[in-house]
Structure 1
Amino acid sequence: MWAAGADNQGNFLGRISIRRNQVASMEGEAEDLELFQRKICDCFSDLLPPSNTKKDNNHTPLLPPSLSLTTTTVDPPIDGDNDGDTTPFAGGETLLSIPWLRKLLDAFLCCEAEFKAVLLMGREPSQIAKSPLDRMIPDFLDRTVKAMDVCNAISHGVDAIKFMQSQAQIIVSALEQRPFTDGQIKRARRALAALQGSIVVDEKENNGKSTERSWSFGRRTGGAGASVKERHHAPNFSWSVAKHWSAAKQIQSISSNLYPPRGGESTGLALTVYIMSVVLVFVMWTLVAAIPCQDRAGLGTHIPVPKQLNWAHGMCGIQEKIAEEWKRKEKKGSAGLVKEVVKVEKLGQSLVEFADNFQYPMEEEKEAEFASQVSELAEICRRMDDGLSPLQVQIRELFHRLVKSRATMLDVLEQAAKSATPDV
């Protein structure tokens, strides 16, 4: 998956490099921006279920086939998490499934690399230190530090899902054996209790009253005048999430004061920085909605993605679908919108009822239904086992990419500041 994204990224960077080696022109800058916008639209439109992907016959293709992030189609959404619905888990790259989240992170990493190419490759530092970039870039770097906090929280959320998966695997191991014994049922009950507790602990502990943790870097970055110490002053990926940290408030902080450039600022590099800021906010919002994080009350509120612009079409479509799911799940204290987690939650509730009312011998029809649920839970465990560790690796890569990119941009701003200072 990542190899395909890296190849397409290389094609993009090659085209930018060739153009920058040519005579600079306003037309060339406009072409870079157009290519970047098309890439953003294409990446996130690929993440929409086919039924939600609308093509405009009067619009030129978003990107040449060689620059498309992936040609893999997305399966229809899983409908098996509705109350009373027993539709089997469909798997695949459905919206909010683990494979889909991995694809989302691939898209972000690809777009982030191309953003830096448009902004920095072959460009004099003084060009990105002029107004309005002297304001927009420090704002963007401030958002990246806050996004690092989110990455830490999301990584711990994946650990929570891994715990759920381990308990679900114990349940499968206990209930797959025949004939049943009291020992197996007791073992399954203990694992079911642990599973149920892990699903609701987040909402019970926080109850929407948490405040921002003290180590969240809410202050503005130092910009062009930042010291070496400040440039590298970012949270470590291994830091734990403080008890009173709020995922919802962190997303609100990242998305605050995010407005599109106007007038003469609405083209060129200023628009490029704005687009990447929207992408960063959108991806962080999606991860927090999907993966267990403490205090997500009010997260269903839409983030500022401009619906009227073509490059934002895919993000808007995804946002609408996630907001619908969030409204359905928010009152239930769900651990997250990851499809595998939602299905484990529902199957766990059903198996609790079975374990509490177990009588031997079982009716033939009841045993067949029970065996089907255990088999389904085993399949979900397998999918989670295959996908969770690679997902956590990608989250780690995202964190370190943000750290590295932030340091690079601060170095460029510092160079610009030094070149603007006359020698004494």
Structure 2
Amino acid sequence: MQKSGYSGSLIPITKGKDAEIADLARQHGFGDPLSAETLTDCILLQAIFYTIEKKRISNEISVRDAILRSVNFAAENFLNNPDWKMHIKEVLQKIAEASRVDRVFLYENIYEDQNLKSARLVERWIAPEISEERIAVPGEERTFKEMGLESFIEELRNTRYVKSHVRDLPKKLQPLFRMINVQSILIVSIFTNGDWWGFIGFDQCKYEREWKTLEIEELKTASSIISAAITRQKTDARLKYLATHDYLTNLPNRLLFEDHLHGAMARSQRSKKWVGLYVIDLDHFKKVNDTHGHPFGDKVLIEVGRRLLGAIRSSDTVARIGGDEFVVLGEDLSSMDDVNRVGNKILIAFSEPIVCDNIDNIKVQITPSVGISIYPVDGEDMENLMRYADISLYSAKKQGNTFNVYQESAGKQLWLDNLQKF
């Protein structure tokens, strides 16, 4: 019977010589044998009730243990693989199969101005025999009203889970679930850093499901594991961002700029086009700080970064590499006209005064000096390119509010020689 997949409970009824068969049945997990000679209706009913309860407890333990194994599987996968989205479908499948549900969904909440707007399906798993008709696909966004969950929002925020049979839902909501053949639901919230991130939804389609407290607790543990994986990836991404971006302007810092420069040089070798390195220094910026204070100076630097971003193409790079020193990488330059055009765009970005409305409506005119070097004309590594750009910046600062390309005095012949080679 075990080989055939039979999962019910049998109660052997024996006569004297059947004792050996009864013992064998007991060893294989069937009910305790009853003696035909002493069997009464009362004894039979007691045996049936006992066997049913024993089977119920056994099933609960089996489901709980399976869910625990799926939770361990999730924890191990997320620990070894920081990108949780790569493994979430497999994790959802393990959890769904362990908890014996027909469908499982992972939704991420979408907020607009800190107000809950909708939820986006991140991933799902559906049992092979269950219909996918009318079921959301990954990436699809739906409002809580469209999903029939609007009345559960506060409960999901506070209690952190909701369970219900569809027949117990408000009558206006029942059709939303019946049209996708749902009979019982369980929804478990996911929180990251104290904020309601989203939820896991479990659909029972073939029959009504009475969710046990232990099962719910284990599935809440599963949601906590997913939460930890999401939080870890967010934290890793945030730490990486902080390590590679300027804290004030949110522009790339020197570390990320170097990475972008190496990438630009590699692309230049393939395209046979130049990369322009534009080092920008703000003229007399110290006077701005001394006159109006550092809070105003910080506002000016933020505005400078914004204007530089608006002056270049999306394929180019703006970085802040020092106090009032910025750098622009211009790619795909074919001629000195291209080089000069980018330089002029940088100067034009500073043509209007900078106004900080929230600081006494102060207005200042900021002018830049720009030093330019060209890869591979002026050098084939960052050290030389920066040195030549600084030399040309020094010449530009003598004039003020202008740009200067490195190609003078001793460097001029080197520039011409390299240009011919390229």
Asked whether the two chains share a fold, i.e. TM above 0.5, the reply is no
* RCO comparison, higher one (Cα < 8 Å, 6+): 1
Q: TM-score, normalised by structure 1?
A: 0.27
Higher helix share: 1
Higher gyration radius (CA): 2
Higher strand share: 2
